Amino acid sequence: MGWWEVNADTLARSRFVISPLAETFARLKLLHAGEAAHPGERDWLRAHLPSYQALLATDPVTDRLVRAGLGRDWIADFLTPTPRDGEEFAAEVARVRSVAPDLARRHLRTALAGPLPAVLDREDLPERAAALLEWVWREAVRPYWGRQRRVLEADVVARTARAGQGGWVSVLDSLRPGRTRWLGRNRLQVNLHEYPPREISGAEMLFVPVTPQRHGWVSWDDGERYALVYPCAGVLADAGARAVPAALATLLGPARAGVLVLLDSPMTTSQLTAVTGQGLGSVGRHLKVLRESGLVVGRRTGRSVLYGRTAAGDTVVAAAAPAEPG
């Protein structure tokens, strides 16, 4: 396993950052894999995978670059510059474009764990990588970025609330279950690779959420900045994951019923706004009615309030659910 040595001061200064390029790269990985984790990803792939495949079919060099750079066990580092707080996509992708060709080729050899194919022994690899990322951003990320950003912000709120409730260990263990966990004695496991540990005490440590559910990675600027990219909570990423029973929609109205259905897991107002697409005021009014009806309860954690269904709310949702066939 790979792990970082992190002292208490570094952990205390660590923070969450939202990165348009990280989201774009995660979407590139999703296009490359072609396998959806939930219905929302399946719909997105249906909309964008054909044009992505057609693009690469006309550009065999970039196609080979993607397959080499994403590797089987390791990503070519130049494709994933470490995020910086508040940096826009154009500035992030410019850092990919500015990588020295020799360094890009070296990173590709590491990802391949072997020699570089002759077709990739060329000077324009950073330019090709940046151009592909720009295409993914323009065609398949930017049209949805408003909602995706709200989802990522909602995930940060939830993780921050979890830190206040269960401490940093509970947050670290939940980022990529089975891959990230606090080992104790200043050690943070970041992946399952057998690589030498890194001493990062005194550096900046960042946690970066992305919406695709099966994708995550680590990146670093040695000695300065280290990032752990992780998939945000699945219930946030897939707004259509939970259908609203027709009877419940008739009883409460579709929007209010949708809020009640989502609250089988505690969520903040910001999370509900991100997931449902409703305005903050509308969500607040729905929560007020649901609380006054005894179907939902709010519990303060730090500066946030987490809302969840009461036993009565569970009963109402269960009673309205369609009967199982047979």
Q: Is residue 326 part of a domain?
A: no
Question: Which stretches does DSSP call E strand in 61-213?
Answer: 181-184, 187-191, 198-199, 204-210
Residues 128 and 190 reside in one and the same domain: no
pLDDT at 323: 64
Is the Cβ–Cβ distance between 295 and 308 less than 8 Å? no
| 11 and 71 assigned to the same domain | no
Residues 96 and 81 sit within 8 Å (Cβ to Cβ): yes
Largest CA-CA distance found in the chain, in angstroms, rounded: 68
Global confidence as pTM: 0.83
Using pLDDT thresholds of 50, 70 and 90, give the confidence band for residue 326: very low
Check whether residue 119 and residue 24 sit in a common domain: yes
Task: List the domain range (segments joined by +) for residue 270.
Answer: 242-320
Domain CATH number, residue 296: 1.10.10.10
Q: How confident is the model at residue 324 (pLDDT cuts 50, 70, 90)?
A: low
Residues 264 and 310 reside in one and the same domain:
yes
Of the residues 212, 235, 258, which one is the last residue of a structural domain?
235
Q: Identify the residue whose tokens are 């894999």.
A: 33
Q: Which amino acid is at 94?
A: A
The answer to whether the beta carbons of residues 194 and 1 sit under 8 Å apart is yes
Q: What's the number of domains the chain is made of? A: 3
Would you say residue 298 lies in a domain? yes
Same domain, 9 and 80: no
Are residues 98 and 160 both part of a single domain? no
Q: Is the pLDDT of residue 122 over 80?
A: yes
Q: Give residue-wise pLDDT tens across range 75-117.
A: 999 999 999 999 999 999 999 999 999 999 999 999 999 999 9
Q: Mean pLDDT over residues 293-318, rounded? A: 88
- The pLDDT tens digits of the residues spanning 160-169 come to 877 777 788 8
Return the amino acid letter for 90.
A
Domain shared by 198 and 54, yes or no:
no
